Amino acid sequence: MTLLLSSDSDAAQWGDRVTALVGYGRAAIGIAHMIAPTRANDLIAGTDAALPTTRASARTFGIREIYIGGGLIAAQRAYPAAVGPLLCAGVAVDIWDTAAFALTAQLPARTRVAGCLVAGGFAVAGAP
């Protein structure tokens, strides 16, 4: 990465942008799961997205994402020392989510692949 960036300042700006993107992305995903849980879960849950248990689970997932994403955004502005621990917390839950999708028996292939790609992608993007 440092080969592509000409200075430490460029690297810091890149890191800040990625952190902001992760924060806003997490918050947006969380808001979608809180407001429209069926639609937000359609890719992963398919027809089960409309089940009350899936919708309730989506909303609990949504608040977690809003908390982590919003925390990252706020920390960047008000308390930069908290950014690293918040990124680590996000990576930890994303690793857990990836493992859950990978290891849960009898998941449809579409659900397994989509879940692993989304959670794994956020784990990589959020790694400090």
pLDDT in tens, 2-59: 455 566 777 778 888 999 999 999 999 999 999 999 999 998 888 899 999 999 999 9
Q: Where do the structural domains in the chain lie, given as residue ranges?
A: 9-126
pLDDT of residue 10: 77
**Is pLDDT of 1 > 50?**
no
CA distances for 1 relative to 4, 8, 43, 74, 76, angstroms: 6, 11, 32, 26, 22
For residues 97 and 55, what is the distance between their CA atoms, to the nearest angstrom? 17
pLDDT in tens, 65-124: 999 999 999 999 999 999 999 999 999 999 999 999 999 999 989 899 999 999 999 999
CA distances for 9 relative to 4, 28, 44, 99, angstroms: 12, 28, 39, 36
